[in-house]
Amino acid sequence: MDKEKNTIGRNKTNMPASAPSSNSIFGGAHIKKLVDKLIASYEEIEKTIKIDSVYQLNRSVLIDTTEKLRRLIFPGYFVKKYITKSFIEYQTGELVEEIFFDLTKQIAIALCHRKDGSPCHDAAMEQAEKLVYTFLSKLPQIRKYLAADVDAAFDGDPAAYSRDEIISSYPGIYAIMIYRLAHELYLLNIPLIPRIMTEYAHNSTGIDIHPGATIGSHFFIDHGTGIVIGETTVIGKNVKIYQGVTLGGLSTRGGQTLQGVKRHPTIEDDVTIYSGASILGGNTVIGCGVIIGSNAFVTKSVPAKTRVSVKNPELQILTSESKNAEHQEFKQTEFWDWVI
């Protein structure tokens, strides 16, 4: 019986069940050839490798730090154990200490990637500590912004059961939270890390917000999938955006020469942008109180308190009541394409 137990997961020749057979082409010599080809590729294309470099960010640490920051922003929501009021100070202190330690090391590494070509030296760690302290001191203000964003979601979504549901499950709030954290790091001129954070949110939610965008309070993203908000976008207060919206640039043909140029639109206060709309261009300004209908393609400024919509299409339906089915026109109410 013991002998049978020892053979579990092995074939009759006592080889691991997943090992290549003796007739397999995938032997040691073939593996060596594959390795040699890859090594040659590394030597030929050096721009996409990181070897013998101590200045490589740890993405896993940054993601873990982002999740710890979420626990500071929304205490009690994302923990494994029930937290009492008497315990909150201890837990907050522990999280702040862990975040400070890990983020300082990562920012010190990130500072070595500055575009000005300044050398990386021992002062980078000291500078990183100051930057992390400044960033963490912004968390109470970020919490105020996010509380307003949660209110906007609750007030604007009839399907919202409670604020608890929004904080715990809405992808829009998750993406906005990470954006607001990353934006503060972006303002501190920290390379790489803000984009890693927002791309992590993008991968998780399908919502792509560049950390350089400027977004006012009471921002609501409904559904969210497929939203793109570019680097130089400016969004005012009380703005609502539905799925599939693009706030982008007219053209990126200029490549690196366009850095620092206002390429993305400005959305003023109290604007609603329905699903599938695209608003493009750095000179495009959407005035206060504007409603942009679904699937609109906007490349020019829109004055305040107006509506933009795609001309109503004529819908036809083929009935199955007779062989000689007739086409029937369906009349829709004005701005029907705004209904979600």
pLDDT at residue 17 is higher than 90: no
**In this structure, are residues 243 and 215 in contact, taking their beta carbons and an 8 Å threshold?**
no
Note the pLDDT of residue 331: 43
Using only the alpha carbons of the chain, give its radius of gyration. 27
Ranges of CATH 2.160.10.10 domains, the chain: 213-340
Partners of 329 in the β-ladder: 316
The arithmetic mean of pLDDT across residues 229-243, rounded, is 97
pTM for the model: 0.82
One of 3.30.390.30, 2.160.10.10, 2.40.10.120, 1.10.3720.10 is the CATH number of 213-340, namely: 2.160.10.10
* Comparison of pLDDT for 329 and 138, the residue scoring more: 138
The 10 Å Cβ neighbour count of residue 246 is 20
Note the pLDDT of residue 279: 98
Ranges of CATH 1.10.3130.10 domains, the chain: 52-207
pLDDT at residue 330 is higher than 50: no
pLDDT at residue 112 is higher than 70: yes
Note the pLDDT of residue 56: 85
Distance of CA 238 to CAs 18, 113, 182, Å? 58, 36, 21
Say which residue the tokens 């929501």 belong to: 77
pLDDT at residue 12 is higher than 50: no
Say which residue the tokens 């030929």 belong to: 44
Note the pLDDT of residue 321: 62
Token code pair at residue 216: 């006012």
Confidence class of residue 258 from pLDDT cuts 50, 70 and 90?
confident
Note the pLDDT of residue 328: 42
Between CA 151 and CA 290 the distance in angstroms is 21
Note the pLDDT of residue 323: 45
Looking at CATH, the fold of the domain delimited by 52-207 is given as serine acetyltransferase, domain 1 (1.10.3130)
